[in-house]
Structure 1
Amino acid sequence: MKLFSERYGYTKPSDVIIREKITPEIQNAICSCYDKLKNRLFLDSGLYFDTDPYIALEQYLWTYFLNNREGDFQDGRRYYIVATAFLEDKNNSWYRKLDIVECTIKYLQDIDKRYNNWRTPVNQMFIKQLNFEFERLNFAYRIIGQEIVEITSKSEIATIEDAMANTSRNIKIHLNRALELYAQRPTADYRNSIKESISAVEAFCREKTDENSLGKALNHLEANGIIIPKLLKVAFDKLYAYTNQPDTGIRHALMDSDGAYTPASEEALFMLVSCSAFLNYLCRKIR
């Protein structure tokens, strides 16, 4: 009988957490954000603008991003489509595609300053929608202020990959499941992803010490000459305690009927990286 990891295949963190590339799904999502932006600007055009504000944005990108001659923006019958055409062009690099998004954000920021009496600043709407899509599709970037920043580094992904490569089959199954739950679509299961991450550490400790709890396992390792700095041990004990809180529903059923506490993607990724890093640390100490 095949095990879980054999049935479902080996999930690579680099295939789940997307960085230094834009997948077709992410590209479509960004283009959809521009579609929503166009519709929103069209609705407000009669209230705040003398001309079509989305065409003004496209002309700005044509002139100041592509550095084309402004007078060539119109070919006589129609205006050029700039933003989505640039995003859909396979010859353009992923980082230049993010450049045009940043350029758009900065342009819209100026528009919001000029027309600060409308109901919802259009720039905030655009950023909120983009960040929603980036999180939904596990894109390793977010928009903070007016800039796109990386929130998941290459080294964090490598940490997960190292833990998967250097631990036993049972531990790999937990890490692989944590990753799959994190990436699950249409709705990720962050609560159980965290549970699987901490379960990987527990499985490692049981494997090395036969103890049934993390605290006992760490004490067992120390009794056998594997010294873990006190503050580091306390830090991971507290992180372990976090997964056992009655209001999280991570290790036990939710104790409050409202389910007010819902782990987010940031917490699930933090736990996956932290547990992987701790496993790598213990592997090196035990060697």
Structure 2
Amino acid sequence: MRFSQRIGKKPATKSIQLETIDEDLLNGLWNMVKIFVLDKIPKYAQYGETEFDHFSNILWHKFYKLPIDTIPEYDFQTEKFIRDSFFKGKWYDVYDFIEFLASLEFRSVNTHDFIEAVNNLLEREFSAYRFIDGKIAPISNKIEVEEIQQSLDQVNYFTSLSGANIHLTNALDKLSDRKNPDYRNSIKESISAIETTCRVLTGESTLGKALNSLESKGIKIDDQLKSGFDKIYAFTNNKQSGIRHAIIEEHKNPDFDDAKYMLVVSSSFINYLVGKCKTLGITIK
């Protein structure tokens, strides 16, 4: 804590930044771009196109959606354009840009270090967002982030769980859409990820039957825990929720908290099941 914060002249903490980016966070994000990306990409080549030229072409074509013949002649002018666009953009434009950079593959850029540094900054500056599986998601709790990331890693590792991987990824994508989040279908994808995982492990066609059949595989689930997931599944099948059925006039619109809860719970349960299988020596292909 700084001196000014200790004596009460400046607040010790600030509000979580959900749909805003304050000056400290904006400057910090630009510094991450400069240090880990722009300053790492070589701007000189003995012959032909430089790596920075290639980077600029991709940026103009895929991100800015501008004609590549409008790229400035000199590198410092190109970087100035990038900087001006960054600082003039809305809060979601900034995150779009950061996310886009993390999706690129350049030999001179260490994407892992970039993402880690950005996440540390987001935490320090009280952003409501974190990188998860290459996407910037509106989840800031460290434990929740780790649960979701671990689950995505698990279902990506096992070939038989590729369907669950697709559902979890879709759930995260729909929750993470900063301009048009789809909470209802995010919840649907989250519960489908559990369904798919249970079906792979038991061969049963429904989640209810699969949960009951897990014991035949040696996976003992506490009755209260199983009852809890039965109720969650019943909620998603409730016509009032409009999640897995046609939307009727009287229905409750799920919100961000509902969708985040379902994603975290689904991820945790998948981690739980995979962990149980490993402990009991049950093979997952």
Name the TM-score, length of structure 1 as normaliser: 0.49
Q: Which has the higher contact order (CA 8 A, sep 6+)?
A: 1
Name the TM-score, length of structure 2 as normaliser: 0.50
